Amino acid sequence: MTVQSLLFQAIDGLAAASGLFFVAAGLSLIFGVTRIVNIAHGSLYMLGTYVAATIALRFEGALGFWGGVILTAALIGLFGAVIEIVLLRRIYRAPELFQLLATFALVLIINDAALWIWGPEDLLGPRAPGLRGAIEVLGRRLPTYNVFLIVIGPLVLLILHLALAKTRFGRLVRAATQDREMVGALGVNQGLLFTSVFALGSLLAGLGGALQVAREPASLLTDLIVISDAFVVVVVGGMGSITGAYLAAVIIAEVKALCISIGTASIAGVAFNFSKLTLVAEFLVMAVVLIVRPHGLLGRRQTVMRSLAEPEEPLRPAPAALKAVGAGVVVALALTPLLARSQPYVLVLGIDVLLMVLFATSLHFIMGPGGMHSFGHAAYFGLGAYGAGLLVKWFAATMPFGLVAAPILALLGALLFGWFAVRLSGVYLAMLTLAFAQIVWSIATQWGELTGGSNGILGIWPSAPFDIRSAFFLLTAALTLLGVLLLRRLLFAPFGYAMRAGRDSQLRAEAIGIDVRRVHWIGFAIAGAVAGVAGGLFAFAKGSISPETIDVGRSIDALVMVLLGGIQTLTGPIVGASVFAVLQDTVMRQTEYWRALLGAIILALVLLFPAGIVGGLARLRLRLVRP
Amino acid sequence: MNTLEIANLSKSFGGVRAVDAVTFAVRPGEFLALIGPNGAGKSTCFNMINGQLAPDSGSIRFADREIAGLPSRMIWQLGVGRTFQVAATFVSMTVVENVQLALLSHAGEIFRGWRPVARRHRERALELLGEVGMREAAERASRELAYGDIKRLEFAIALASAPKLLLMDEPTAGMAPRERTDLITLVKRLVVERGISVLFTEHSMDVVFAFADRIIVLARGKLIADGDAKAVRENALVQQVYFGTGKSFERKRELLP
């Protein structure tokens, strides 16, 4: 590595920073005003790439390309306005968690819509007319288009800055970012303001996507990659700060450029490939920033919004009817292997369902009673699965050792990540847990020598007597039952009450001597360990483990399972996970467009049944009992 | 020995000296009122004593120990209870569970994970609820309570840790006059029985003059008066900060033809 190559990478990094900035600026604006973290922002960007590529391919020449860029930005802005009016308006007053899920549902639906319109192949657009050459910088060739991107990023920042500082619209946006309720009280038409801000943010995302077409093909994978990058940028820069977004985009792009230019270096005699760090680098930056400045580089503490979720009913011991149902379930589980003689598939599905029940219950433990909305619970599931898998792969360990290693590795991971996570709350906690899950996923993907990379680890089979499927089923059932009952027991004990106390009122809890952070930290670790058990069993059930089984999709599945059952009840996650796992197995495998279907289920949940299945039934019963 | 001794306590926010070199003490068994107009620094002073804010300078000694800058839960563990201006309870729990949790924390049993809360310290919690007149409401969800009852529940929670000093931030705020007198009578009776010292802030002068053993007055961050009801009522400085001097209008009158 030379100083020249480092400088060159740094200059090239600025081009990447501009791309990041367009998406992040829109995301930040939207969050500032509406307080909604729009996970679908990456999808708008992705749509931008597809639309711009399609236009440029149909109408060739400079007008087709540059006119297409402008037209695309306008179209995506318009699409954003439609989304705001049709969907978001209904959920501004919903709990944060539901807003995140609703926009995630959009991600799924938009992705499948793109698959339907443009097909699974990447779509390669033309290169930018007039900017196809390159100039010589530091003895290397820098594409002219990158120079254009380097310039246009700060230019858009300047325009946005002036618009926010000088215009009436900008004043309203800044006022709403500081105190939305006050702006409403002053008689500002909030509907119009929110719609136009959402449209502006979407326009920026569309513009970012359209400009990217000249460098990379449009791909269905962009949405999640872009959104996780944009999140990191916004969180690092400070939610709601445009200048912060640019600053953070530059920092992250530069850190990545640095990793690439260092390449393989030797540290204390061990060769280490820094370019592999690029996937993790941004999350490391974010973790550091969040710990030092919890509200981002240029962000400020958000005004606390009143939570409009319905308060929870006090915890009551299981009534006789529920105990009877529970006993019935246990008996049914014990008898399942008999039924499986005629229908062996029942056992395969049964194991899936049980593992999802255990996984969802462990997430509910911290999400419901702990109030910590983890968007990265798959990390602990994954650590468990890999803990077991690695032991089998490298030490030829038998299953009992693997199943002991699984929760231990998950526990250690949860202790480490949880220590940081409990220092934050709300959206920031959600993002940090997501970032940690991405780190685990990246390590699994990139550290090929250890983990087998994207192929994962194969040949993790249970040892006797559990190599017979019915025996493995019974083992899974026993461990799931044990895990669920232990967590339930904890919730009725002082520890569970302390967790809820910290959630209900942190101030009050501290005032009666409860160390809320410590309680929540331990709760987080316990939930992680239990998820690790589920992960370990999963590895043995499938015989293999690969990064794609522990990606962000699994974290989101767990959230959906908890909400489907009802977050405010203890039986909710059990029912939710069972229904979800069966649905996934039956309905979703029938269609290519299962993502859109899952998205529709999530939207229905958020808009129509916010209390979930069990919560909804309980309310129905209350209404029948007390007319 | 005094229960609480505060010396030269100061705290600034930006350029504002919210609390400026305040010195006073709470004597054993005393019912001490801290009063002053809005913005006088009462809440800042309170939040430094209960550990929510760290002072810029000065000392806070409780039971012969420096507590300035300690986290609020440690101050509570040493024997300082508190109630909030806007009453806060654990809304997802029943009334009796709220008290049980305080008892559990006092007994150092927060991290126990096996025996259910329902079977722990229940008798003692019911007893405490009985003393504040809330025995009947024990099994109700605390979020269903009327505001006056929440205040009573908060008081029971504060008593659960058997404190030596009780900090009450506007204990009767937001209550009707009749309720107000009932609550403060109850508080005074129970703390006198137990020998608990109380430092409280209050806007209702009826309550202050009728119940406080002694009154200290803050204005613009400084302590301006200290004495019994009569002395404070007749203090010229206190009259000035509460009623003004009328001087703000004098000049205008001069300008009139």
- pLDDT digit string, tens, across residues B55-111: 999 999 998 899 998 999 999 999 999 988 877 789 899 999 999 999 999 999 999
Q: Do A314 and B92 touch (CB under 8 A)?
A: yes
Same domain, B115 and B215: no
The label of the residue with tokens 């205040």 reads B151
Residue A172 has pLDDT above 50, yes or no: yes
d(CA A227, CA A42): 4
Q: Do B93 and A315 touch (CB under 8 A)?
A: yes
Arithmetic mean of pLDDT, A465-490: 93
Q: Do A489 and B91 touch (CB under 8 A)?
A: no
Residue, of A273 and B25, whose pLDDT is higher: B25
Same domain, B135 and B246: no
* pLDDT for position B101: 95
Q: What does the block give as tokens for A542?
A: 């499938």
The label of the residue with tokens 């329902």 reads B118
Mutate to test the interface with A, among B82, B110, B128 (most CBs of A within 10 A): B110
Kindly give the pairing relationship between strand B222-227 and strand B214-219: antiparallel
Look up the domain containing B102 and give its range.
90-144
Kindly give the pairing relationship between strand B197-201 and strand B31-35: parallel
Residue A385 has pLDDT above 80, yes or no: yes
Arithmetic mean of pLDDT, A90-98: 79
Please tell me which of the candidates B71, B91, B97 has its beta carbon nearest to residue A497. Answer: B97
The label of the residue with tokens 């290397």 reads A140
Same domain, B79 and B95: no
Which residues of chain B neighbour A493 with C-beta distances below 8 Å?
A: 112-117
Q: Do B89 and A495 touch (CB under 8 A)?
A: no
Mutate to test the interface with A, among B67, B74, B105 (most CBs of A within 10 A): B105
A485, closest residue in chain B (CA to CA): B114
Q: Do A510 and B77 touch (CB under 8 A)?
A: no
* pLDDT for position B234: 86
Same domain, B99 and B126: yes
Helix (H, G, I), strand (E, B) or coil at A177: helix
Same domain, B132 and B109: yes
Mutate to test the interface with A, among B90, B98, B100, B109 (most CBs of A within 10 A): B90
CATH, residue B171? 3.40.50.300
d(CA A439, CA A283): 7
Inside any domain, residue B151 = no
Instruction: Name the most confidently modeled range: A139-143, A226-230, A309-313, A535-539.
Output: A535-539
* pLDDT for position B5: 93
Same domain, B170 and B248: yes
Residue A166 has pLDDT above 80, yes or no: yes
Same domain, B183 and B57: yes
Bridge partner list, A267: A270
- pLDDT tier for residue A308 given thresholds of 50, 70 and 90: very low
Burial code of A69-94, b = ≥16 C-beta within 10 A, e = fewer? bebbbebbbebbbebbeebbbebbeb
Any B CB within 8 A of A188 CB: no
* pLDDT tens column, A23-43: 899 998 888 888 888 889 999
* pLDDT tens column, A207-233: 999 998 888 888 888 887 788 788 888
Inside any domain, residue B150 = no
Q: Do A312 and B120 touch (CB under 8 A)?
A: no
Residue A516 has pLDDT above 70, yes or no: yes
- What average pLDDT does chain A have? 86
Kindly give the pairing relationship between strand B57-62 and strand B4-13: antiparallel
* pLDDT for position A229: 82
Any B CB within 8 A of A500 CB: yes
Share of chain A above pLDDT 90, in %: 36
CA–CA min distance A525, chain B (Å)? 14
Which residues of chain A neighbour B97 with C-beta distances below 8 Å?
A: 314, 497
Q: Do A500 and B90 touch (CB under 8 A)?
A: yes
Same domain, B179 and B227: yes
Contact call for residues B21 and B84 (beta carbons, < 8 A):
no
Same domain, B52 and B81: yes
* pLDDT for position B166: 94
Share of chain A above pLDDT 70, in %: 96
Mutate to test the interface with B, among A307, A492, A497, A530 (most CBs of B within 10 A): A497
Residue A386 has pLDDT above 90, yes or no: yes
Please tell me which of the candidates B88, B93, B113 has its beta carbon nearest to residue A314. Answer: B93
d(CA A474, CA A589): 26
Q: Please tell me the number of Cα atoms within 13 Å of A14 on its side-chain side.
A: 18
Same domain, B46 and B162: yes
- pLDDT tier for residue B196 given thresholds of 50, 70 and 90: very high
Contact call for residues A573 and A527 (beta carbons, < 8 A):
no
Q: Which of residues 19-78 of A touch B (CB under 8 A)?
A: none
Q: Do A511 and B84 touch (CB under 8 A)?
A: yes
Residue A253 has pLDDT above 60, yes or no: yes
Q: Number of folded domains in chain B?
A: 2
Residue A307 has pLDDT above 70, yes or no: no
Q: Which of residues 311-330 of A touch B (CB under 8 A)?
A: 311-315, 317
Q: Where are the domains of chain A?
A: 11-250, 334-561
Q: Do B111 and A494 touch (CB under 8 A)?
A: yes
Bridge partner list, A123: A218
d(CA A191, CA A176): 12
Residue A309 has pLDDT above 60, yes or no: no
Inside any domain, residue B234 = yes
d(CA B54, CA A138): 54
Any B CB within 8 A of A128 CB: no
Q: Do A508 and B90 touch (CB under 8 A)?
A: yes
d(CA A392, CA A458): 10
Residue A579 has pLDDT above 70, yes or no: yes
Mutate to test the interface with A, among B104, B112, B128, B159 (most CBs of A within 10 A): B104
Same domain, B113 and B218: no
Which residues of chain A neighbour B117 with C-beta distances below 8 Å?
A: 492-494, 496-497
Task: Give the Cα-Cα-Cα angle A46, A51, A54 (nearest 5 degrees).
Answer: 125
Contact call for residues A205 and A48 (beta carbons, < 8 A):
yes
Same domain, B74 and B163: yes
d(CA A183, CA A167): 16
